[in-house]
């Protein structure tokens, strides 16, 4: 039985991925959300528990609870992400940046992903064929930045990418069997993209189901050795840093 952790599984892409994996009879899912309880609850196939990746205490509690249930983890798919809140939208100019927005984007889009992998390192290493995937974004590519704006989101995604690149170098020495991947999911019909959907070209907006299937397909290709780049889009094409 494979043990897969899905971070941010209560809505959006995370829920879509969770729904697909729940149909695989050889897989146990540990689904996390900030709205779940702090107690690990569920069955042999689907477990739910709170995990706020902006809180090291929450990550520690999550880790301690799954330790007794699972000897190893075969995969982590981190779908946690922040673009806007009721307090702010992406910045159009430097005059709009704030410490609050920068900090919250960094905590959720970058720092939390690395803190989680830090604590899950040993569990992943115990698997025969493990993987760790984080949802990134093409907008985090420095070379691909032709429009400007969206400071906090761009910077936090670029930080996530650098974190994974650095981790890939370290784990190639320590755990060469762990496969890492950053994936740009494409624009998906979720709350994150709602304020910006009107300006999209026809066919550019993907359903949650479509995006989830695309991500899982790329993970499978990565695991089969068919996909080598670290940073790819939903079609498996390499994205420049």
Let me know if residue 41 belongs to a domain.
Answer: yes
Let me know if residue 238 belongs to a domain.
Answer: no
Please determine, for residue 200, whether its predicted confidence score (pLDDT) is greater than 70: no
Q: What percent of the chain has pLDDT over 70?
A: 99
Return the CATH number at 31: 3.40.50.720
Residue, of 141 and 200, whose pLDDT is higher:
141
Tens digits of residue pLDDT in 59-82: 999 999 999 899 999 999 999 999
Let me know if residue 240 belongs to a domain.
Answer: no
pTM beyond 0.85: yes
Q: Given this model, what pLDDT does residue 79 score?
A: 97
- Could you please report the per-residue DSSP string of 91-118? -SSGGG--HHHHHHHHIIIIIHHHHHHH
Let me know if residue 13 belongs to a domain.
Answer: yes
Let me know if residue 96 belongs to a domain.
Answer: yes
Tens digits of residue pLDDT in 107-145: 999 999 999 999 999 999 999 999 999 999 999 999 999
Is residue 230 exposed (0-12), middle (13-18) or buried (19+ Cβ within 10 Å)?
Answer: buried
Tens digits of residue pLDDT in 81-102: 999 999 999 999 999 999 999 9
Q: What percent of the chain has pLDDT over 90?
A: 88
Let me know if residue 115 belongs to a domain.
Answer: yes
| Residue whose tokens read 């993987």 | 131
Q: Domain limits at 174?
A: 2-233
Residue from 129, 143, 137, 131 nearest 234 by CA: 137
Across-strand partners of 49? 32
Please determine, for residue 194, whether its predicted confidence score (pLDDT) is greater than 90: no
- The DSSP output letter for 37 is -
Residue, of 68 and 28, whose pLDDT is higher:
28
| Residue whose tokens read 């974004």 | 137
C-alpha distances out from residue 223 to 5, 24, 91, 109, 198, Å: 16, 17, 37, 24, 36
Q: Give the count of domains, the chain.
A: 1
Q: Given this model, what pLDDT does residue 46 score?
A: 96
Instruction: Say which range, 27-41, 149-163, 169-183, 185-199, has the weakest mean pLDDT.
Output: 185-199
Let me know if residue 239 belongs to a domain.
Answer: no
Let me know if residue 241 belongs to a domain.
Answer: no
- DSSP-derived 3-state class of residue 32: strand
Do residues 82 and 105 make contact, with C-beta atoms less than 8 angstroms apart?
A: yes
Q: Calculate ∠ Cα 224-33-132, nearest 5°.
A: 20
């Amino acid at each position: 039985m494979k043990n897969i952790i899905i971070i941010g599984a209560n809505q959006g892409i995370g829920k879509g991925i969770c729904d697909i994996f729940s149909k695989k009879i050889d897989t146990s899912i540990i689904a996390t959300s900030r709205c779940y309880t702090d107690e690990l609850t569920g069955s042999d196939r689907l477990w739910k528990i709170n995990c706020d990746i902006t809180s090291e205490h929450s990550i520690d509690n999550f880790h301690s609870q799954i330790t007794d249930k699972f000897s190893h983890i075969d995969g982590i798919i981190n779908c946690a992400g922040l673009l806007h809140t009721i307090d702010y939208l992406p910045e159009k100019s430097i005059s709009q940046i704030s410490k609050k927005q920068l900090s919250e984007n960094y905590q959720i889009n970058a720092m939390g992903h690395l803190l989680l992998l830090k604590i899950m390192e040993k569990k992943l290493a115990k698997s025969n064929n493990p993987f760790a995937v984080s949802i990134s974004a093409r907008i985090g590519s420095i070379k691909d930045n032709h429009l400007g704006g969206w400071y906090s989101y761009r910077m936090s995604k670029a930080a996530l990418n650098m974190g994974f690149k650095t981790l890939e170098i370290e784990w190639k020495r320590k755990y060469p069997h762990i496969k890492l991947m950053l994936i740009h999911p494409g624009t998906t019909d979720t709350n994150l993209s709602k304020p910006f959907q009107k300006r999209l070209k026809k066919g550019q907006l993907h359903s949650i189901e479509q995006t989830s299937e695309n991500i899982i397909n790329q993970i499978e290709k990565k695991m089969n050795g068919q996909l080598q780049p670290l940073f790819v889009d939903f079609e498996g094409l390499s994205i420049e840093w």
